[in-house]
């Protein structure tokens, strides 16, 4: 029998684990101040527009700008930089919080790539504020050895229009290979230059009751080119950390894309969550990060949320904050394991061994012709082709060298398993037809 939701849309918690980081989903959902700070206006934590209205509306762009500016003024551990400009001239911002030490673990939050999925953005803005103003010893110790990177609004044009895609109708989360959009190019720059160890991509979804209607779904990278230890760590994060934390907080949860029988819990079908390399969750794994997809439910739960949409909005944001709280705890507790997995992934690419998969996923065997069992040594590009795609290759962190009248892209580099997806004519989303070099 389903457990009845509570008044704020959450189900009663099954267990009572205590989480001690400054960020707490319950406080955020109720817009309660989280931190103990001096009371003068210059040091009082700002509230988002969402919090100030109790979830009656989402935070406006001007309010976002004011919050980020205040956080930067308040704390020397916070900086805000512009990493791009959208097709309609709006800024794309990256917030950096915490340690700049070379040995710090780096966690990247990408919020609301789809403009009509705003709950992740609210969770990210709250997170920026809470980390900037934190005074408790545990959070400050966490930030002393961790850098948290946040792209609070990855699709400002879509947010302004209330659309999934950007101003040109392009889905940014299907552009992480071609890099045609300003948003995808900005994120590629962050992945290349900052080399995050963990990447969380925050989204929302529409439910289909009773088979696909959990409060929150999560998923790891399914792409078969994900290095083994990195894949194992991403699955551990989803299955052993985030999903239990979601249930403990009183929400229902599941694996994204998996429809289940409401009576038995058995799998009925899969509607999403493939190994498609152009989705950020998978692209980040190919760039050596532990990837995590988060999807909160937009649809109202029962009559209370239908009567008061603010209840549904608060539940959506609070469930996302539950994930971020557990994500930070995971990163703090397993930093050495995570760093080892990301380092092994880079080394495995540079080592140039093993097959490369042009299709399939961890839940779908690739067709034989989609497997490069003996990958080439590299790909040759004409000068004309390189002029057309060289900028994208550089954004992906792919190195090349002059080769006669053209350019040579060797596979023996960290981006080894990404390169055939970009240059092999058999790959579904390749940028150009490179000429394979088999004379190693």
Query: What's residue 307's pLDDT?
Result: 97
Task: Give the pLDDT band (50/70/90) at residue 3.
Answer: very low
Question: Please, which residues have CB within 8 angstroms of residue 256's CB and are 6 or more apart in sequence?
Answer: 205, 217, 218, 219, 272, 273, 293, 295
Indicate the pairing of strand 371-372 with strand 356-357. Answer: antiparallel
- 373-392 CB burial, b ≥16 within 10 A, e <16: eebbebbbbeeebbeebbeb
Q: pLDDT at residue 13 above 90?
A: no
Percentage of the chain beyond pLDDT 70 is 90
CA-based R_g, the chain, Å:
22
Query: What's residue 216's pLDDT?
Result: 98
Supply the pTM of this predicted model: 0.92
Query: What's residue 349's pLDDT?
Result: 86
Percentage of the chain beyond pLDDT 90 is 86
DSSP 48-69: -HHHHTTTSSPPPHHHHHHHHH
**Of 99, 123, 101, 126, whose CA–CA distance to 112 is shortest?**
123
Predicted confidence (pLDDT) per residue in 244-264, tens digit: 999 999 999 999 999 999 999
Task: Give the pLDDT band (50/70/90) at residue 272.
Answer: confident
Placement of tokens 């994120």 in the chain? 187
Tokens of 44: 């009082």
Question: Please, which residues have CB within 8 angstroms of residue 209's CB and are 6 or more apart in sequence?
Answer: none
Lowest mean pLDDT among 8-17, 83-92, 369-378: 8-17
Lowest mean pLDDT among 6-15, 202-211, 313-322: 6-15
Give the pLDDT mean for 207-217: 96
3-state secondary structure 381-416: EEHHHHHHHHHHHHHCCCCCEEECCEEEEECCCCCC
* SS3 category, 347: helix
Cβ–Cβ < 8 Å for 426, 358: yes
Q: pLDDT at residue 150 above 70?
A: yes
Query: What's residue 6's pLDDT?
Result: 35
Q: pLDDT at residue 19 above 80?
A: no
Q: pLDDT at residue 27 above 50?
A: no
Query: What's residue 29's pLDDT?
Result: 36
Integer Cα distance of 379 and 433 in angstroms: 9
Task: Give the pLDDT band (50/70/90) at residue 42.
Answer: low
Placement of tokens 């300003």 in the chain? 182
Beta bridge partner(s), residue 361: 364
Q: pLDDT at residue 30 above 50?
A: no
Give the pLDDT mean for 283-290: 98
Sign of CA dihedral 36, 41, 42, 44: positive
Give the pLDDT mean for 23-47: 48
Task: Give the pLDDT band (50/70/90) at residue 20.
Answer: very low
Cβ–Cβ < 8 Å for 133, 175: no
Query: What's residue 2's pLDDT?
Result: 27
Lowest mean pLDDT among 14-23, 221-230, 266-275, 376-385: 14-23
Query: What's residue 335's pLDDT?
Result: 98
Phi-psi category of 352—alpha, beta or left, where left has phi over 0 and alpha has psi -120 to 50? left
Would you give the end-to-end CA distance of the chain in angstroms? 62
Length of the chain: 440
Task: Give the pLDDT band (50/70/90) at residue 36.
Answer: very low
Give the pLDDT mean for 333-349: 96
Task: Give the pLDDT band (50/70/90) at residue 43.
Answer: confident
The torsion of the CA quartet 341, 347, 350, 356, rounded to 10 degrees, works out to -40
């Amino acid at each position: 029998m389903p457990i009845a939701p509570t008044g704020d849309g959450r189900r009663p918690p099954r267990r009572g684990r205590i989480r001690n980081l400054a960020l707490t989903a319950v406080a955020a959902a109720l817009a309660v101040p989280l931190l103990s700070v001096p009371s003068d206006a210059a040091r009082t934590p700002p509230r988002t527009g969402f919090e100030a209205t109790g979830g009656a509306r989402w935070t406006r762009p001007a309010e976002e700008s004011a919050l980020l500016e205040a956080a930067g003024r308040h704390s020397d551990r916070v900086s805000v930089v512009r990493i791009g400009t959208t097709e309609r001239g709006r800024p794309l911002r990256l917030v950096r919080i915490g340690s700049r030490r070379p040995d710090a673990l780096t966690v990247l939050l990408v919020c609301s790539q789809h403009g009509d999925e705003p709950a992740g953005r609210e969770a990210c803005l709250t997170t920026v504020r809470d980390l900037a103003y934190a005074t408790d010893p545990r959070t400050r110790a966490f930030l002393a050895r961790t850098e948290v990177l946040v792209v609070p609004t990855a699709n400002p044009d879509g947010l302004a229009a209330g659309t999934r895609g950007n101003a040109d109708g392009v889905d940014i989360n299907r552009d992480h290979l071609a890099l045609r959009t300003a948003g995808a190019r900005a994120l590629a720059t962050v992945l290349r230059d900052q080399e995050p160890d963990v990447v969380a991509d925050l989204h929302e979804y529409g439910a289909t009751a009773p088979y696909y209607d959990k409060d929150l779904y999560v998923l790891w990278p399914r792409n078969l080119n994900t290095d083994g230890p990195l894949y194992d760590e991403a699955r551990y994060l989803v299955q052993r950390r985030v999903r239990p934390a979601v249930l403990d907080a009183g929400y229902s949860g599941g694996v994204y894309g998996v429809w289940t029988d409401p009576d038995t819990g058995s799998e009925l079908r899969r509607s999403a969550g493939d190994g498609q390399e152009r989705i950020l969750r998978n692209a980040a794994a190919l760039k050596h990060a532990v990837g995590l997809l988060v999807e909160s439910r937009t649809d109202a739960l029962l009559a209370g949320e239908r009567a008061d949409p603010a209840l549904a909005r608060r539940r959506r944001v609070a469930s996302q904050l539950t994930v971020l709280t557990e994500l930070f705890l995971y990163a703090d507790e397993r930093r050495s394991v995570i760093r080892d997995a990301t380092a092994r992934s880079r080394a495995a690419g540079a080592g140039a061994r093993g097959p490369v998969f042009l299709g399939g996923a961890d839940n779908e065997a690739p067709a034989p012709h989609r497997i490069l069992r003996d990958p080439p040594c590299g790909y040759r590009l004409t000068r004309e082709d390189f002029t057309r795609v060289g900028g994208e290759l550089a954004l992906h962190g792919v190195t090349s060298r002059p080769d006669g009248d053209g350019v040579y892209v060797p596979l023996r580099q960290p981006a080894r398993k990404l390169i055939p997806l970009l240059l092999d004519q058999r790959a579904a989303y390749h940028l150009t037809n490179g000429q394979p070099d088999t004379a190693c």
